[in-house]
């Protein structure tokens, strides 16, 4: 290994000795150093990089953390979230260590995150704030429509000046202080700068946020900053630093599922909600959200009969929360997550009588045997004892939220009941 390293360093020296006239495209590869990620096998052949095991390990770890937190008691989750996403568009966002630039990468993944967020939290709302030139700007107010946020985000891509954490927090605090008390106030900051130029004492602002129960999380793009860590510790948020683009995406998506409820808000609360009907085809009306004449599309508030374009939202006239029943249903699985699957040891189970079952994954029916007919890695459900491959494991826990094995056991019973 050390030999290898020496050699690569030696090569670089040569590279950079005549580096006078290398073009920009070449420079990008020199910076990238993709060759350092290559691995050789015993015979000296290059081996494709196999990351699936690593990804699965990461996922298991995440799951373990979640289940450890949930151990024993059933956790109450904050399903109604008011989240502000703060994106740092200061000078540092123009850096090109993420390709093409930090800013573009951030925007791309925030877009994906917004969609995922509304998918998982249909009852929640998002607002966007950007930091530019030391000042925080509101891009969009709190709202439930992914499209309008994304549109506003993509229109403002241009890095400039310093960054100020305090200004951003003050602005968000002002906005979030007005939301009703049953909602969870959250801030997610994507911070690419390494310093913050503040007009006042940021410690006071942090205490203010803590007092009004703002949960602040930060995702850094370059290195760990003390103040961000402090902010997250104080307000109970998560602080993480992205290593590369894939990691950044993972870190962002970690914020999509609802966090555990804050103790003070954990008292059960009744919330008034309206379930509006879709307006008749071809009916013409002025929608209350855009003040435009629209034909056909839209929903009608059951209380004041105002027309809105999208769900979920808040009626602009009477302030009623408007949702549809699938939204509620979709939030439901967060409260009853399926248990973690057990990992199956690869060696000891050779004499297992149920070994024949392990040939195929119960989910996708693909063979579970690895190269050379050796048993590959797999997991098993604690309840139904079916085996699954790693891909299905992730899919079941993160997207499906149902175990196919358990579901197929229950079905005959219910069918027979119905027949009687």
Interacting residues toward other proteins by CB under 8 A: 9, 12, 16-17, 31, 33, 92, 97, 165, 194-198, 201-203, 220, 222-228, 230, 240-243
Q: Is the dihedral of CA 63, 68, 69, 71 positive or negative?
A: positive
Return the number of the residue (17 or 42) whose C-beta is nearest other proteins. 17
Least distance (Å) from other proteins to the CB of residue 202?
6
Least distance (Å) from other proteins to the CB of residue 387?
25
Return the number of the residue (13 or 407) whose C-beta is nearest other proteins. 13
- Report the alpha-carbon distance of residue 321 to residue 252 in Å, rounded: 27
Longest dimension (CA), the chain: 85
Least distance (Å) from other proteins to the CB of residue 160?
13
Least distance (Å) from other proteins to the CB of residue 211?
19
Burial of 332 by CB count in 10 Å (0-12 exposed, 13-18 middle, 19+ buried)? exposed
Least distance (Å) from other proteins to the CB of residue 196?
4
- Report the alpha-carbon distance of residue 322 to residue 417 in Å, rounded: 37
Return the number of the residue (193 or 389) whose C-beta is nearest other proteins. 193
Return the number of the residue (71 or 293) whose C-beta is nearest other proteins. 71
Return the number of the residue (97 or 119) whose C-beta is nearest other proteins. 97
**Half-sphere exposure of 66 toward its Cβ, with a 13 Å CA cutoff?**
21
Give Cα 308 to chain centroid, integer Å: 28
**Half-sphere exposure of 108 toward its Cβ, with a 13 Å CA cutoff?**
12
Q: Is the dihedral of CA 308, 313, 319, 320 positive or negative?
A: positive
Return the number of the residue (11 or 407) whose C-beta is nearest other proteins. 11
Angle ∠(201,207,208) on CA atoms, nearest 5: 95
Least distance (Å) from other proteins to the CB of residue 130?
19
**Tokens found for residue 110:** 């925030």
Least distance (Å) from other proteins to the CB of residue 331?
29
Least distance (Å) from other proteins to the CB of residue 50?
19
Return the number of the residue (128 or 165) whose C-beta is nearest other proteins. 165
- Report the alpha-carbon distance of residue 118 to residue 398 in Å, rounded: 15
Least distance (Å) from other proteins to the CB of residue 393?
20
Q: Is the dihedral of CA 209, 228, 131, 108 positive or negative?
A: negative
The CA–CA distances, whole Å, from 173 to 128, 133, 190, 205 equal: 13, 20, 17, 9
Return the number of the residue (10 or 100) whose C-beta is nearest other proteins. 10
Pairing of strands 277-278, 299-300: antiparallel
Cβ pair 378, 389 in contact under 8 A: yes
- Report the alpha-carbon distance of residue 132 to residue 149 in Å, rounded: 18
Return the number of the residue (193 or 322) whose C-beta is nearest other proteins. 193
């Amino acid at each position: 290994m050390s030999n290898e390293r020496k050699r690569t360093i030696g090569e670089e020296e040569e590279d950079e000795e005549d580096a006078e006239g290398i073009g920009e495209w070449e420079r990008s590869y020199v910076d990238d150093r993709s060759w350092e990620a290559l691995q050789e096998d015993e015979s000296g052949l290059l081996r494709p990089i196999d990351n699936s095991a690593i990804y699965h390990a990461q996922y298991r770890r995440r799951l373990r953390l979640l289940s450890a937190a949930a151990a024993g008691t059933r956790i109450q989750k904050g399903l109604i979230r008011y989240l502000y996403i703060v994106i740092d568009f200061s000078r540092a966002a123009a850096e090109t260590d993420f390709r093409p630039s930090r800013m573009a990468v951030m925007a791309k993944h925030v877009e994906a995150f917004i969609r995922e967020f509304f998918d998982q939290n249909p009852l929640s709302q998002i607002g966007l704030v950007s930091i530019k030139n030391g000042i925080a700007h509101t891009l969009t107010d709190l709202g439930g429509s992914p499209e309008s946020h994304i549109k506003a985000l993509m229109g403002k891509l241009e890095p400039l000046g310093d960054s100020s954490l305090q200004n951003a927090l003050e602005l968000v605090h002002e906005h979030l202080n007005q939301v009703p008390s049953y909602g969870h106030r959250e801030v997610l900051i994507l911070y690419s700068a390494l310093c913050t130029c503040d007009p006042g004492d940021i410690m006071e602002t942090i205490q203010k946020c803590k007092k009004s129960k703002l949960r602040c999380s930060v995702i850094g793009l370059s290195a760990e900053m003390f103040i961000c860590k402090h902010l997250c510790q104080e307000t109970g948020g998560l602080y993480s630093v992205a290593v590369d683009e894939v990691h950044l995406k993972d870190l962002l998506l970690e914020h999509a599922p609802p966090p555990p409820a804050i103790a003070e808000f954990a008292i059960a609360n009744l919330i008034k909600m309206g379930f509006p009907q879709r307006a008749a085809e071809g009916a013409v009306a002025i929608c209350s959200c855009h003040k435009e004449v629209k034909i056909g599309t839209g929903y009608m508030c059951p209380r004041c009969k105002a027309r809105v374009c999208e769900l979920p939202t808040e009626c602009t006239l009477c302030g009623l929360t408007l949702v549809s029943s699938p939204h509620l249903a979709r939030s439901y699985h967060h409260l009853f997550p399926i248990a973690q699957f057990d990992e199956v040891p690869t060696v000891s189970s050779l004499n297992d009588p149920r070994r024949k079952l392990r040939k195929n994954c119960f989910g996708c029916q693909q063979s579970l045997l690895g190269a050379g007919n050796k048993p590959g890695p797999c997991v098993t459900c604690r309840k139904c004892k079916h085996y699954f491959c790693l891909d299905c494991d992730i899919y079941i826990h993160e997207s499906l939220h149902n175990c196919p094995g358990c579901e197929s056991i229950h079905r005959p019973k219910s069918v027979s009941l119905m027949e009687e």
